[in-house]
Amino acid sequence: MTAAVTTDTELDEAEATDDGGRRAARRFGTLALAAAVVVGLLLGYAGGLLTPTFTRPGNNSVEAGFARDMTTHHAQAVEMGMMAFQQGQDLEVRQIGGDIATGQQGEIGTMQTWLRSWKLDPTGDQPPMAWMSDGPGAVKNGLMPGMATPEEMKKLRAAQGREFDVLFLKLMIQHHLGGVHMIQGVLAEGHDEDVLAVAQIMKNTQQTDLTNLQAALKRLGG
């Protein structure tokens, strides 16, 4: 009996098929995450619509300033999370990135719905962090606490493999620490019960994220 022989051509075709399958799976995963982000945004809008409007925070209120600034802060986290999901080499890094992107996109929807329900513009005329007593001093080069600089974002986009994973984790830890600082500000100085309830959930979520981010960074030797 003659043993079956696999030619080099057949091996090449099989490898090409495997690579194509992995690329297709990654593309499908990216599309699925993008869809999840949209769903999260819509759910956030729906959640925000449930906020009572008997008393509306004013244009220069702590609540309005927080909603505007945290929307900007969250937007960068969503971008970074999407990058981690698409570019991350480590499975946990990709999972963390996807979770952050979907979760914070939903919270953006909630905060933007608050502003609309309060009959306020999505952007105000006050400088960043003016709503928080020690806020202006926390702004560095126009960036709110924990936000990555343009140079850091450029470096993250260009990074690959383990270098990307470690840099993402470091930047997101910094980002979340700044976010928690802002959330503590609205919890200390805000008055709207619904905003305070959502802010507390945000704080709990980000503190859990920080635990996972720090553990992943330690595991990767960062």
pLDDT in tens, 143-170: 999 999 999 999 999 999 999 999 999 9
Alpha-carbon distance 185 to 180, whole Å? 9
Contact 173, 211 (CB under 8 A): no
- Higher local confidence (pLDDT), 139 or 7: 139
Per residue, the 3-state secondary structure of 86-139, as one string, reads HHCCCHHHHHHHHHHHHHHHHHHHHHHHHHHHCCCCCCCCCCCCCCCCCCHHHC
Q: What is the pLDDT of residues 200-214, one digit of tens each?
A: 999 999 999 999 999
At position 68, the amino acid (one-letter code) is R
pLDDT band at 222 (very low <50, low <70, confident <90, very high): confident
* Percent share of the chain, pLDDT over 90: 74
pLDDT of 25 reads 53
Domain 62-220 fold: Ferritin (1.20.1260)
**What is the value of pTM for the model shown?**
0.77
- Higher local confidence (pLDDT), 35 or 91: 91
Q: What is the pLDDT of residues 50-74, one digit of tens each?
A: 545 457 999 999 999 999 999 999 9
pLDDT of 2 reads 43
